Amino acid sequence: MYKNLIGGEWVHGTRTSRNINPSDTGDLVGEFAQADASQARQAIEAASVAQKSWAQSTPQQRFDILDMAGTEILARKLELGDLLAREEGKTLPEAIGEVTRAAHIFKFFAGETLRTSGDLVPSVRLGVNVEVTREPVGVVGLITPWNFPIAIPAWKLAPALAFGNAVVLKPAELVPGSAWALADILQRAGLPPGVLNLVMGRGSEVGQVLLEDERVNAISFTGSVDTGRRVARACVERMAKFQLEMGGKNPMVVLDDADLDVAVGAAINSAFFSTGQRCTASSRFIVTERIHDRFVSAMADRMSGLKVDDARTSGTDIGPVVDERQLSQDQAYINIGKAEGARLVAGGETIATSSHGKPGFYLQPTLFADTTASMRINREEIFGPVASVVKVRSYEEALAMANDTEFGLSAGIATTSLKHATHFKRNSQAGMVMVNLPTAGVDYHVPFGGRKGSSYGPREQGRYASEFYTTVKTAYTQA
């Protein structure tokens, strides 16, 4: 039984939830405590008490704790990667990569504690000095999705703690194990009681309390657009600071002059690795007409060699879909694509069991061709291993189509033309642009985030994270 962490104590919830392995639904990862609204309020109270002295801690104290947490995560990356693959379903190498990234994030923000600086500015008034400094925001509520069970909690927790905030973390219901392990590691690394609180539970109950409680000064949310809108409304109502990272419908443009191998490699990775369950996954390939047929047939070739199997079996390229609800959503969109008249090039079928005969939520990677920009499969986020190809006549048409979406998280282009690559980087309406690379897969020390309906508020990660996790003070002194 894995408990919640409130005020430095591990406490039972009011009920429990079962964490099931999507590669083998008979495998129970663990029973996790579920907090209710009143426990969520206790966690917020503990955080608001602890935050006052945590804000006074030295950068060296915060450095040591974050650095130690990063070291332990790295030392245990195989074990934590195995847990992550088991509860979420990405392949073991992908899961170990995600754990490694979480460790690097803690190391990076350990360094940031020492690099926080301000400005000393001459005043326009004689004899007056102006100081611009950064202070913690206070108590921060972190609400995370299921698709990156350790990296997303890490990239919110590390800057929150580095800059002197206290935290209440509510991880996604489907994947509490990795967040629990992270809380355990940070607590043992020496965080004072109450600085980090973990409340596992329902979004509509525990999450909602975080949104509405006046003691929570800021909310950092990653998840779906619908929930994001709810977060925004609740925060605006009580003037709390918030940042949202939400969905995507990320395009990848493939031009006639592209290196076909590079384009196909990036496309396969973008659309199907991590079972297509990345907010930065590309689901729309916008391909100019002279390379179109070669691209589609090379994709079909590569897809026929991809192995869909248990996330922890060696040689698996694509693990299962995270749960039954997401699998039904993916299947529904495959049916919508067929009904809209798209041509199914590859995949489309579920697979009942792993190669070990264990029941799981397996789906073949799926590609549609002969699609149009107005089809629902090209406009709505599916969030599974399902992608489509649209044929266009020119780069200009491709760029316009890439930007014709309510989202703006990541966008890619495969081309050997410096002119087109440069133009695309400047004119794509996405927060992140990739040239000859998958749309997914980003560095941890630079800003992450999108535009339009994909994101709201300051960027996450890297040095830009301080925009959200600190608040600026301007002080004037008459000398």
Among 50, 80, 246, 311, binds ligand NAD (CB under 6 A): 246
Of the two residues 18 and 419, which places its CB atom closer to ligand NAD in the complex? 18
Q: 396: helix, coil or strand?
A: helix
**C-beta of 473: minimal distance to ligand NAD in Å?**
29
Which contiguous run of DSSP H or E holds residue 243? strand 241-245
Of the candidates 19, 96, 98, the one whose C-alpha atom is nearest the C-alpha of residue 278 is 98
CB 414 within 8 A of CB 439: no
**C-beta of 475: minimal distance to ligand NAD in Å?**
35
CB 433 within 8 A of CB 439: no
Q: How far apart are CA 246 and CA 228, in angstroms?
A: 7
Among 147, 270, 331, 461, binds ligand NAD (CB under 6 A): 147
CB 206 within 8 A of CB 35: yes
Say which of 45, 112, 245, 381 is annotated catalytic: 245
Alpha helices in 116-239 (DSSP H): 151-162, 176-188, 208-212, 225-237
Among 177, 194, 223, 384, binds ligand NAD (CB under 6 A): 223
**Encoded tokens for 150:** 């350790």
φ/ψ region of 138 (left if φ > 0, alpha if ψ in -120 to 50, else beta) reads: left
**Of residues 260-319, those binding ligand NAD (CB under 6 A):** 279
CB 243 within 8 A of CB 450: no
245 among known catalytic residues: yes
Question: Which string of x and - marks every residue 453-472 that binds ligand NAD (by CB under 6 A)?
Answer: -x------------------
**Of residues 362-391, those binding ligand NAD (CB under 6 A):** 381, 383
Please report, for residues 70, 103, 110, the alpha-carbon distance to residue 158 in angstroms, rounded to integers and kept in the order given. Answer: 10, 10, 8
By the rule CB under 6 A, 105 interacts with ligand NAD: no
Q: How far apart are CA 267 and CA 282, in angstroms?
A: 7
By the rule CB under 6 A, 146 interacts with ligand NAD: yes
Q: Taking contact as CB under 6 A, which single stretch among the options 142-150, 284-292, 297-305, 467-475 is the one that binds ligand NAD? A: 142-150
Of the two residues 182 and 255, which places its CB atom closer to ligand NAD in the complex? 182
Please report, for residues 116, 159, 186, 218, 364, the alpha-carbon distance to residue 113 in angstroms, rounded to integers and kept in the order given. Answer: 6, 9, 16, 20, 45
**Of residues 386-415, those binding ligand NAD (CB under 6 A):** 409
By the rule CB under 6 A, 116 interacts with ligand NAD: no
Of the two residues 73 and 279, which places its CB atom closer to ligand NAD in the complex? 279
**C-beta of 442: minimal distance to ligand NAD in Å?**
10
By the rule CB under 6 A, 213 interacts with ligand NAD: no
Q: How far apart are CA 202 and CA 35, in angstroms?
A: 8
Say which of 87, 112, 279, 460 is annotated catalytic: 279
235 among known catalytic residues: no
Task: Compute how many residues bind ligand NAD; rule: CB under 6 A.
Answer: 28
By the rule CB under 6 A, 247 interacts with ligand NAD: yes
Angle at 62 (CA atoms; ends 60, 67), nearest 5 degrees: 90
By the rule CB under 6 A, 13 interacts with ligand NAD: no
Of the candidates 453, 452, 451, 456, the one whose C-alpha atom is nearest the C-alpha of residue 468 is 456
**Of residues 181-210, those binding ligand NAD (CB under 6 A):** 203-204, 207-208
Q: Which residues are catalytic?
A: 245, 279
Q: Which residues bind ligand NAD (CB under 6 A)?
A: 143-148, 170, 172-173, 203-204, 207-208, 211, 222-224, 227, 230, 245-248, 279, 381, 383, 409, 454
